[in-house]
Amino acid sequence: MQKGIIILGVSLLLTACDLGFPRMTVNYDNLPQGEIKEYITKRFPNEPEKEVLSKLIYAHLDGDNRADSIKKAVSQMGMTCEAGKEICEYSGYIRTKLTGHSSGSGRAKRIYHIVISPKKGMDSLAIEHQIIEDTEN
């Protein structure tokens, strides 16, 4: 009998504690597919690092750092390289929703914009990361 009361008490305590902690749901659907998305999702909630992303790109180059090779590599990884533009881009965002907290909407967009100019080489790689409140439904 006493053992049953202890088990019931522990169960109620765990349930009550679980209800009090904030939870985050994450939606990666608005990131373009590819190796860059995989890298961002593995790093989340941390920001992507330029050095690590550079190494991922270099691994695809096999020592050939010409503009065409860079363009081909980043395209295969999920970046968009439009004809007539000198840059390749990766733009997308992660939506997050925090529940079980007391202030604000709890919804945010983490926007990622990654740019490289294949003609200027790997040193031109730039990563912009911004967090804004998500006001969309």
11-25, 53-67, 87-101: which is most confident? 53-67
Do 88 and 81 contact (CB within 8 A), yes or no?
A: yes
Q: Is omega for the bond preceding 45 within 30 degrees of 0, making it cis?
A: yes
d(CA 84, CA 82): 6
135 pLDDT band, cuts 50/70/90, is confident
Encode pLDDT of 7-42 as tens digits. 655 565 555 555 566 788 899 999 999 999 999 999
| Count, residues in the chain | 137
Domains of the chain: which residue ranges? 22-133
pLDDT on residue 50:
95
Beta bridge partners, 90, equal 114
105 pLDDT band, cuts 50/70/90, is low
pLDDT on residue 14:
55
Q: Specify the pTM.
A: 0.78
